[in-house]
Amino acid sequence: MNTETLGRLRSRIVNIDAMPAIPVILRPLLHCLDQPVEQVDMERIVELVSYDKSIAAQCIRMANSALFMRNSPAETVRSAVMSLGTWRVRDLLFSNSLSQIIPANRWVIDPTIFWKHSLGVALVCRKFAEMIEYPDPEKAYLAGLLHDIGVIVNCMVAPKEFRDSIENAMREQIALDEAEQATLGFTHSDSGRILADNWKIPSDIADAIELHHHIGDPERGGPLVALVNLSDLLCRMRDLGYGYYEPRQVDFANEPGWLYLLIKYPSMAEIDLARFTFSLDEYAREVGDMVASVFKS
């Protein structure tokens, strides 16, 4: 996208009244994430959950679902957080706060499909990061979760054209960003970058949002961009995409992101990609439960 179009898009997005505001609990959550895993403060998480009655109720409901219930039902937010584990609660908080960015009637695409894909990419990113010994799997998780945030922007700033792009992508069975480029003249990667800058999201995550479809020179975005790019592709190849068939063949070992990570992280060469792919069907189930719990209110 050229600078002039980008400039016009930026002013269009920043000036619009409907510019999504950063969710209230996102900042403290981002702050929690900056700390090493073992130092995450459980009490702080309980406090954040208690802020919002509907989220608190969801936590308790999920903790008491067949999947998580222990010996006795959880009745307090604290016991629900204990039984779900802080990371799962954080996942729930994230997806919940992000799903409240826009009113339910402004979605142009099915929000459950959107969140399944975003959460799926987040989980795959984190797992991938752990496998290759990338030092910050939680950052990878966050980058995965936010990578398509531009879709939300597009729903708000150009609902009609965006709807056309989605319909076009489904009809022609092409990637969403290709269809957006043709119909809108920009993609959710471009608008997502603008939102990320506006929200002051860390720049490496903003790079992942902007470059996840076309990573370009891998040195520019670094490992995080490559991780998000590959995880997004993998999810689209494993029933965690945008809900339509993309007739294509992906040769991961020959993707620029893969080749780049191979150089940076030698343990990449040990990955059993076939097994990892098969195990994604497990993620699909976990993600399905999570999204169902967010949207069942």
Partner 1 sequence: MPNDSTLLKDETAVPDNLGDPAWIRIRDLVYQVSGIYQAENKFYLLVGRANRRMKAVGARTPREYLDFLTARPNRDSEMRNLLNEITIGETCLFRSLPQIDALRRVVIPSVAEAKRKLSFTKLRFWSAGCSTGEEPYTLAMILLEETQGLLKGWTFEVVATDLNDRSVAKAQEGVYNDYAVRNIPPDFMKKYITKVGADFHVADSVKTHISFSRLNLLDDSKMLFMRGFDVVFCCNVLIYFDGKSKTRTIQHFYNALLPNGYFFLGHSESLYGISEKFRLVHFPGATAYWKSTEAIPKAGTP
By the criterion CB under 8 A, which residues form the site for partner 1?
Answer: 233-234, 236-239, 241, 245-254, 259-260, 262-263, 266, 268-269, 272-275, 277-282, 284-285
Q: Which is nearer to partner 1, 204 or 255 (CB)?
A: 255
Minimum distance, C-beta of residue 130 to partner 1, in the bound complex (Å): 18
Q: Which is nearer to partner 1, 37 or 269 (CB)?
A: 269
- Integer Cα distance of 41 and 24 in angstroms: 19
DSSP helix/strand/coil, 273: helix
Minimum distance, C-beta of residue 196 to partner 1, in the bound complex (Å): 29
CB 93 within 8 A of CB 145: no
Minimum distance, C-beta of residue 242 to partner 1, in the bound complex (Å): 11
Q: Which is nearer to partner 1, 2 or 249 (CB)?
A: 249
Inter-helix orientation angle 218-236/273-295, to 10°:
80
CB 98 within 8 A of CB 23: yes
Q: Which is nearer to partner 1, 45 or 234 (CB)?
A: 234
Minimum distance, C-beta of residue 67 to partner 1, in the bound complex (Å): 11
From the list 141, 158, 155, the residue with the least C-alpha distance to 29 is: 141
From the list 130, 33, 43, 136, the residue with the least C-alpha distance to 91 is: 33
From the list 296, 297, 279, 255, the residue with the least C-alpha distance to 127 is: 279
- Whole-angstrom distance between the N-terminal and C-terminal Cα of the chain? 40
Residue type (1 letter), 167: E
Residue type (1 letter), 217: D
Inter-helix orientation angle 218-236/137-146, to 10°:
70
Structure tokens at 172: 């022609």
Minimum distance, C-beta of residue 234 to partner 1, in the bound complex (Å): 7
Q: Which is nearer to partner 1, 47 or 239 (CB)?
A: 239
Q: Which is nearer to partner 1, 4 or 251 (CB)?
A: 251
CB 280 within 8 A of CB 233: no
Q: Which is nearer to partner 1, 201 or 233 (CB)?
A: 233
Minimum distance, C-beta of residue 275 to partner 1, in the bound complex (Å): 5
Minimum distance, C-beta of residue 119 to partner 1, in the bound complex (Å): 16
Minimum distance, C-beta of residue 268 to partner 1, in the bound complex (Å): 7
Q: Which is nearer to partner 1, 164 or 286 (CB)?
A: 286
Contacts of 47 (CB under 8 A, 6+ apart): none
